[in-house]
Amino acid sequence: MLGDQLNQQHSWFNGDQQHILYHMAEMRQETDYVKHHIQKVVAFFLAMRGFKEWMDSRGFENAYFTLDHIDNQQDLIENLKALIKKHKIEKFEYLAPDEWRLDKQLKDFCGSLDIEWEGFDTEHFLTKRMDVKKFFEGKKRLTMEYFYRDMRKKYDILIEGDKQPEGGQWNYDQSNRNKWDEKTEVPHERGFRKDVSGIVELLQTAGVQTFGRIDETNFNWPTTRQNALDVLHYFCDNLLVHFGDFQDAMHTHQEYLYHSRLSFAMNSKLLGPMEVIEAAVARFRESEPTNNPIHISQIEGFVRQILGWREFMRGIYWREMPDYQHQNQLENRNKLPDFYWTGETKMNCLKTTINNSLDNAYAHHIQRLMITGNYALLTMTDPSYVDEWYLGIYIDAIEWVEITNTRGMSQWADGGLVATKPYVSSGSYINKMSNYCKGCAYKVSKKKGEEDACPFNSLYWNFLEEKKEHFKNNQRMNMMMALLKKMDPEVLQAHQKKAKNIIQNPMDY
């Protein structure tokens, strides 16, 4: 089993366990294929060790290799070969990986075996690998909304009558775009105060290269199934009531707002998607008779992220890989600025968002899409560099979910397969959804490329001018391209001059 396959509910653990040996390993193969945030590595190792303890408590025989285990060859295949030889294994079974590189590695390995082998589903997702591909066969566009509605009907989630959406609407996204008013109380996140100094020391001794920050005696991410259930119930009881309202909001004083912090627990399979959905819907039902009910827009917004977006993006991953990892339709070639690893920039939105990620290995979807992703796209950064950073910095980042959101939604590198238009904006959107512009060294209100104007303003118009040939037939870009044509040539020239300087000298900003 791999470190993101920690599903205690799997059918493997039912029935007779005689003559079965389970294997998990903390490997340099996985710590080193990309440079990870220290908290991400710690979280996976801690969760894997917790899963081993659960197996031990039930008498399952397992060969668990810590990073410094004497038999650990730091390579999945070499470890498996040694175990098969040592224990005279007669049949090899594995859970199908969710990453293409590991899936290929194990399939190639099985092809070389002279013993029986078999692969099994992880019994986690609500769709099979190719369900999304089949759903969209013969259709012109991969519109997530249609897939999401089908999933709602299939699983009877927030459905009433003759397969109609509860509340009369399928999607309440328009109600999920409020700026946090600072008057609505945000309960403190559910934390655990774990001491992980031993794992940190292990990583340092082994020479594993990481980045980001960690409080070794106060690690507060859920890394056991019970932890994850605690966070789920805490979210349902305290945060769901305003989740939809403020799911797109950003604020300098709030790292999480009303977000659930369940993504690591789900992506490592400590929790299943349906049990998360059912718990949230049950809390929604319980709230209906009270004086302070949870509105349908809150629960629908949450369900859409899991039942719709999460399953959809996984389906896109298996539909498009391995070619997807090389997509760069806008032909962007620039590098990410160094401040993505330090948070040292005068732009308050980037400074706040990146430092939050360095501190917590976290950012919610709008911070990823409209702050760090927006800047990377506007500065025409090579999506491979963006992939590497996103995959490394976030605690929940596994390639199946990271690369589709990065190359598809964030960087439009797939040319519109996932998103109908690039998600770019000037500083006005950031100002609308956050308080980041207050106290910033730059003024979001200045629109003509002035020295103290928000860099996003110049970068935005420069990007549209640079990439206009890519968007000339994109109907969703018509309005912005029309505004670009009407712009005073001197103003556009000022934007282009400033944008060029920003791209060439990012650390000056």
Please give the class, per CATH, of domain 131-187+239-320.
mainly alpha
Please tell me the predicted confidence (pLDDT) of residue 407: 96
Q: Average of pLDDT values for 26-47?
A: 98
pLDDT for 81-132, tens place per residue?
Answer: 999 999 999 999 999 999 999 999 999 999 999 999 999 999 999 999 999 9
Q: Is the pLDDT of residue 288 over 80?
A: no
pLDDT for 363-384, tens place per residue?
Answer: 999 999 999 999 999 999 999 9
Tokens of 480: 């912005």
Contacts 24+ apart (CB under 8 A), 53-58: 54/8, 54/224, 54/225, 55/22, 58/13
- Per DSSP, the three-state class of 393 is helix
pTM, rounded to two decimals:
0.96
Tokens of 367: 């911070």
Topology classification of domain 326-508: DNA Cyclobutane Dipyrimidine Photolyase, subunit A; domain 3 (1.10.579)
Alpha-carbon distance of 284 to 241, in angstroms, equals 8
Nearest to 273 by CA among 157, 126, 117, 78: 126
- Structural domain boundaries in the chain: 11-120, 131-187+239-320, 326-508
pLDDT for 142-166, tens place per residue?
Answer: 999 999 999 999 999 999 988 999 9
pLDDT, mean over the chain: 96
Residue 61, CA atoms < 13 Å, CB-side half-sphere: 7
Nearest to 215 by CA among 231, 193, 198, 183: 193
Please tell me the predicted confidence (pLDDT) of residue 181: 85
Instruction: Look at strands 164-165 and 159-160 and give their pairing.
Output: antiparallel
Is cis: bond before 422, omega within 30 of 0?
A: no
Interhelix angle 144-155/311-320, nearest 10 degrees: 120
Question: Under CATH, which number does the domain 11-120 receive?
Answer: 3.40.50.620
pLDDT for 226-267, tens place per residue?
Answer: 999 999 999 999 999 999 999 999 999 999 999 999 999 999
Alpha-carbon distance of 341 to 453, in angstroms, equals 24
